[in-house]
Structure 1
Amino acid sequence: MLRPQASETRDLVNLDGIWRFAVDRPEVSEPWSAPLQGSLDVAVPASYNDLFLDPKIRDHVGWVWYQRDVFVPRGWGDRDTVIRFEAATHHGKVYVNDVLVAEHIGGYTPFEADITDHVQPGKPFRLTVGVDNELSIHTIPPGHVHVVDSGQRRQSYHHDFFNYAGLARSVWLTGIPRTRIEDIAVTTGVEGAAGTIKYSVVTTGSAEVRVVLRDETGAEVLNGSGAEGTLRVEEVKLWQPGAAYLYKLEVSLHGDGELVDSYTQSVGVRTIEVTKTEFLINGKPFYFTGFGKHEDTPVRGKGHDNAYLVHDFELMKWIGANSFRTSHYPYAEEVLDYADRHGIVVIGETAAVGFNLGVSGGMSAKNPPPTFSPDTLGDEMQETHAQHLRELIGRDKNHPSVVMWCIANEPASQEDGAYEYFAPLAELTRKLDPSRPITYTAWLLANAKNDQIATLFDVIGINRYFGWYIDNGDLASAEVKLEADIRDWVEKFDKPVMMTEYGADTMAGLHSLNDIPWSEEYQIAYLEMNHRVFDKFPTFVGEQVWNFADFRTTPGVHRVDGNKKGIFTRDRRPKGSAFFLRGRWTATGNVKPSQQ
């Protein structure tokens, strides 16, 4: 499923803007069958929760409805009309006039519907979209709904970020040829000074496939024909961390001597390899520096915002970060396009967060149920998880910035049943994409002695908060524990280890002459302690701080207006730790600090 694109043969209409909006009401049985009643309007793309002042909308559990009128261009009579949603969090239903044309479960990957038979070129139609934010034990991420003393339905979940919902990404109407390019897959390699680009094109109907490879100036480098092939680029210019180079692969279909369809795919030539001790990009050791991030901004929630996108990357460039993880869900594809162009390395992650029923909002629960069992995360969840992997890899497989797949964040990997749950998913991921390594992130109480799934993965990611959740305020003891913990991982497993999360909540502007938790000085001292330990281990391959910026969570006694572990505030002002990290990371580039 190719992302919509305007070309010689394809037309594209953006449907972002102001839509009519309503919260689901029992007395309105079919809200798609007529114009939505009421005075509420909503912005698309945006999460709806923070747009309004009514807490009943912010905390609503269940369906909401979006609606607008759409005009189909008159010139689309000989084309298929397709509507595409970049995301609907978490369950979407799409109606054209009174007809259900699409349904999708999964809040962070795209879906589309061919609506040609339900619309007329030159005529408008009523588009209604239902979005349900409810989480259950069988959804990714999981959760459950309960009724509180006030009689209201409340959503509970085990991940530590706010359950923003709605149409958080763009909506498109496209007019595309009936015989067309359906998908393109690209893998790259390097042979001496030459680069190889292996391509595969899926089409509808019968047509001749032609390809042209162009460099960044637009000059033709190579051409070929056929739905599958390999292009060999002599003196190739590699896609490098911090120095991106993108070729353009122009794919076209021809029939009876005429152009039928065309699509352009960006290509970055690079190689990925993992040894027992190193993570290699283009054959050179790469040391991850950067962040776990969130799609989270004031007012918009998880709504994609191009202004924040540009500014966030500028901040990462300023601080010297070379990478980030898409914690804890696939990000908008615009983010990956931007990473491709700017040479930022990405670990792509599924929405499999909260797979740990012994944790609720970061705090240990008493007598929790087993995480992996027929009644909790069992066969149904495993199949849902597999579908998320198919959709994530299907969408992002061609991005050179994506160098590794993370198939889950902080699962209960120390529990019985974890291996049986994850082994088929690890196998599926490798089958879907043999070109990239895979990882997961181990939570604080899963260690090298009790973890059951590390053998399934190429790189071990660990999330550690010694000095915060454990030994808070006692960095000397925290340092002893952290060093022992990492040594256990390194000595037991012949594979690279990286820190995928480490951080301390910090109130911007709170200062202390002593290492007082929540102060800016403590956050810096905490980071210094961690770095001393990291630098002792040659097989340690990266450090990604939690988090890039403060973000919203559910209310909690351990959260003050959200999670404050950001190096930047939610509105992107630097804390003192930003200048400290800039000093470390700008001096190291892509090389481990202790190995310079």
Structure 2
Amino acid sequence: MLRPQATATREVICLDGVWNFEIVADAATEEWTELLSPKTQIPVPASYNDILLDHGIRDHVGWVKYQRRVRVPRSWTSEHVFIRCDAATHRGRIYVNDKLVADHQGGYTPFDANITELVSAGKEFCLTVAVCNELSNETIPPGSIEVLANGTRKQKYLHDFFNYSGLSRSVWLYSVPQRSFRDVTIVTDTVGENRTGIIKYEATCSESVDCEIRVTVADENGNVVGCAHGERSEIEIESVHLWQPGNAYLYKLTLYLHRLDDNSLVDEYSIDVGVRTVEVKGSQFLINNKPFYFTGFGKHEDTPIRGKGHDSAYMVHDFQLLEWIGANSFRTSHYPYAEEVYDFADRHGIVVIDETAAVGLNLGIASGLFGKKAPPTWSAETMNVTTSIAHSQNIRELISRDKNHPSVVMWCIANEPASHEDGAREYFAPLVKLTRSLDSTRPICFSNCVLATAENDLISDLFDVLCLNRYYGWYEHTGDLETAEHELETDLRTWQTKYGKPMIMTEYGSDTMAGLHMTNPGPWSEEFQSSMLEVYHRVFDRLDSVIGEHVWSFSDFQTSAMVFRVDGNKKGVFTRDRRPKLAAQALRKRWVERKNDALHG
């Protein structure tokens, strides 16, 4: 599925704005396409939860409906017409007038529908998008629904961020020619001492009989530097400008579909291409054959009022803060982000670890917090074959959507699963095989939780990079940083000795109340957060296999209501409205110095 794009042969209309909105009281009896009153309206894109001042809407479990009128341009008489939702959390249905045209499970990847036969050029139609936020043990991410004594349905989930719902990304009406490009895959490489760049492409079309595919590659000045013909080929670029961390360079690859009989243009589509290589070698992570050290964060798509709604102003400001603090990378915890974020990372040379929405595949974490005996995570009644099928679909859609972004250097297929429990290997081995079959050019990883030690973990040998989430000094040995430093180093050395693979600390940090200061740093103070990070950094610097540090987290974010989550998770080094805490200055000093050292050899 190619993203909507305006070209010489394609047109796009963004349907963002204010839509009519309604809570579905009973899905079993709902008339899905009945006209909605404008009495209640909601913006798109945005999560609906925090916008309206109705507690029942904020905590609603089940379906909601969005609706608006849409006019098809009268010039689209001979075109195929599509509707696309960039995301609907966690299940979305698209109705055109009274017809269901799409039903998609998975809250963070796009889905579309060809509606050509249902609409007419120059005329309006009624567009309804129904969205459901329900989670079960067979969805990704997983969850369960509890029915209280008063009949209220409560969504329970195993991820530590609020279950924001709705149309959090854009909705599009777009046209494509009857003969058109359907998909394009780009792979890049370099050869020779003179640094010749290689761009390999493979294009698929809806129909290419009696047509020819022509391809050009242009540099950033618009000069054509390479050409090719056919559905698949490779293009050499002499003295190529590499895409590098902190120094992005993007070529524009354009595909043309021409008729053979009269040479007329049938379709055109362009993709920005960064030429770079990625490789794991021993305990090093190499980008363009040079060791790369990750500095940055786990993040969330989370802002006040909009929830997970994509916001370009916040996006640009967040990237400014990444540059200010000296970060060179981030992890899309714990789901694929909006595509605009990857475009921006491509353009500005920020490295991305791209993650599926497989968070919460571990029944032992929540049970441990509340002193309960955990059921097995991997069983017919818990995470089962149907869960695995949903997980596989998440991986397929993630890679299909993001495979051509040069900023994406690694796939993360799960966060903190129960990788130490019986059944973990049987669950993950097929998923690893699937991921490698879909993309053999990037390393893969998962983020390991502390319950799965180097001794009892059952799956880490399947992966290329060890990604470890650790909270010594916070959840373990709270406030005791001396013990935390010893335990952390012992833990990491065990992994280093056993596997010899590159290791990234993908989560570490402490909850911190902005403005709380202590002369004798204690938990929750700004001074303690800085001191705890310094402990971890001393350990990282003593281990050869550590090749990255992603602090948890970039900014404070909203969670479900819990006694130890007062207005959300406070582990951010920036507040939710992006004000720096004391730890941000400490990180800036360390990371800017590291960046300068790397720059000057």
TM over 0.5: yes
**Aligned counterparts of 2:521 and 2:453: Cα–Cα separation in 1:** 28
Question: Match for residue 491 of structure 2?
Answer: 485
Match of 2:376 among 370, 379, 389: 370
* Distance apart, 1:361 and its partner CA: 9.1
Partner SS for 1:358: helix
Q: What is the aligned partner in structure 2 of residue 333 from structure 1? A: 339
Secondary structure of the 1:291 match is strand
String of CA shifts for 1:374-417, please: whole Å, max 9, x gaps.
Answer: 22111111111111100000000000000000000000111111
Query: Post-superposition shift, 1:12?
Result: 0.5
1:31 shift after superposition: 3.7
Distance 2:238 2:189 in 1: 12
| Amino acid across the alignment from 2:5 | Q
Q: Which residue does 2:94 correspond to in 1?
A: 94
Give, in whole Å, the separation in 2 of the partners of 1:44 and 1:367. 42
Tell me if the contact between 2:367 and 2:374 (Cα under 8 Å) persists in the aligned partners: no
* 1:249-288 equivalent positions in 2, closer than 5 A: 249-255=253-259, 256-288=262-294
Establish whether residue 54 from structure 1 lines up as the match of residue 86 from structure 2: no
Distance 1:592 1:151, change over 3 A: farther
Residue number in structure 1 paired with 2:563 = 557
Partner of 2:349: 343
Alignment RMSD, CA only? 1.5
> Take 2:57 and 2:206, find their aligned partners in 1: how far apart are those partners?
43
Q: 1:358 aligns with which of 358, 364, 376?
A: 364
**2:333 partner amino acid:** S
Partner residue, 2:225 = 221
**Corresponding residue for residue 243 of structure 1:** 247
- Could you say which residue in structure 2 is the equivalent of 1:36? 36
- Cα distance, 1:365 vs structure 2: 4.9
AA partner of residue 302 (structure 1): K
Per the TM alignment, residue 363 of structure 1 is displaced from its structure 2 partner at its CA by: 2.4
Cα distance in 1, alignment partners of residues 581 and 348 from structure 2: 25
CA contact (8 A) 1:285 1:591 kept: no
Find the counterpart in structure 2 of residue 316 from structure 1: 322
Paired residues, what number? Answer: 595
Q: In structure 2, how many angstroms separate the alpha carbons of the residues matched to 1:297 and 1:48?
A: 13
Amino acid at match of 1:42: I
How far has the Cα of 1:277 moved from its partner? 1.1
Which residue in 2 is equivalent to 1:567? 573
- Report the Cα distance in structure 2 between the residues aligned to 1:49 and 1:348, rounded to whole angstroms: 26
Offset at residue 27 of structure 1 (A):
9.1
Q: Does 2:13 match 1:7?
A: no
User: 2:500–2:545: 8 Å Cα contact kept in structure 1?
Assistant: no
Whether 1:212 aligns to 2:196 is no
Which AA in structure 2 matches 1:196? I
Partner of 1:583: 589
Q: Where in structure 2 are the equivalents of 1:134-145 lying within 5 Å?
A: 134-145=134-145
| Shift of residue 364, structure 1, vs aligned partner | 5.3
Runs of 4+ residues over 6 Å off in structure 1: 590-593
**Residue 21 of structure 2 contacts residue 66 of structure 2 at CA under 8 Å; is this kept in 1?**
yes
Cα 1:364/1:449, change in 2 over 3 Å: farther
| Aligned counterpart for 2:447 among listed residues 427, 441, 448 | 441
**Aligned mates of 1:235, 1:464 — CA distance in 2:** 43
Q: Who is 1:108 aligned against?
A: 108
User: Where does residue 69 of structure 2 map in the other structure?
Assistant: 69
**2:553 and 2:290 mapped to 1: Cα distance?**
27
Counterpart contact for 1:286–1:590, Cα < 8 Å: no
- Residues in 2 aligned to 1:276 and 1:91: alpha-carbon distance in whole angstroms: 41
| Distance (whole Å) between structure 2 residues aligned to residue 31 and residue 365 of structure 1 | 44
User: Which amino acid letter does the alignment assign opposite residue 25 of structure 1?
Assistant: A
Give the secondary-structure state (helix, strand or coil) at the position aligned to 1:359: helix
Whole-angstrom distance in 1 between the partners of 2:148 and 2:580: 39
Letter matched to residue 97 of structure 2: N
What is the correspondence of 1:535-550 to structure 2 with a 5 Å cutoff?
535-550=541-556
1:430 is aligned to: 436
Deviation at 1:359, TM superposition (A): 2.0
* Alignment partners' CA distance in 2, 1:152 and 1:383: 30
Specify the alignment match of 1:150 in structure 2: 150
Task: Say whether 1:399 aligns with 2:405.
Answer: yes
With over 3 angstroms needed to count, the CA separation of the structure-2 counterparts of 1:80 and 1:321, relative to structure 1, is same
Residues in 1 aligned to 2:574 and 2:428: alpha-carbon distance in whole angstroms: 34
Structure 1 unmatched ranges of 5 or more: none
Q: Deviations over 1:219-267 (max 9, x none)?
A: 1111111110000111000000000000000101001310000001110
**SS across alignment from 1:561:** coil
**2:161 equivalent in structure 1:** 161
Deviation per residue, 1:143-194 (Å, 9 max, x gap):
0001123321000011100000000000000011010011110000010210
C-alpha deviation, 1:57, in angstroms: 0.1
Structure 1 residues 64-110: Cα deviation after superposition (integer angstroms, max 9, x where no partner):
00000000000001100001110000011110000000010000000
Whether the 8 Å contact between 2:367 and 2:373 is mirrored in structure 1 is no
* TM-score w.r.t. length of structure 1: 0.98
- Over 3 Å counting, the alpha-carbon distance change for 1:591 and 1:97 in structure 2 is farther
Residues 90 and 106 in structure 2, CA contact (< 8 A), matched pair in contact too: yes
**C-alpha separation in 1, matches of 2:472 and 2:337:** 29
Q: Which residue of 2 aligns with 1:194?
A: 196
How far apart in 1 are the matches of 2:539 and 2:236? 44
Q: Distance in 1 between matches of 2:27 and 2:507?
A: 47
TM-fit CA distance, 1:592? 8.2
Cα distance in 1, alignment partners of residues 300 and 335 from structure 2: 9
Q: Residues of 2 paired with 1:590 and 1:278: CA distance?
A: 20
d(CA) in 2 for partners of 1:343, 1:437: 19
Q: 1:447, CA displacement in angstroms?
A: 1.0
Which structure 2 residue ranges, 5 or more long, are not aligned?
none
Q: Deviations over 1:539-579 (max 9, x none)?
A: 11100000000000001111111000001000000001111
Shift of 1:291: 0.2
- 1:167-182 mapped onto 2 (5 Å cutoff): 167-182=167-182
Q: Which moved more, 1:20-29 or 1:447-456?
A: 20-29
Moved more, 37-46 or 522-531: 37-46
User: How many angstroms does 1:591 deviate by?
Assistant: 7.0
> In the TM superposition, what is the alpha-carbon distance from 1:28 to its structure 2 partner?
9.2
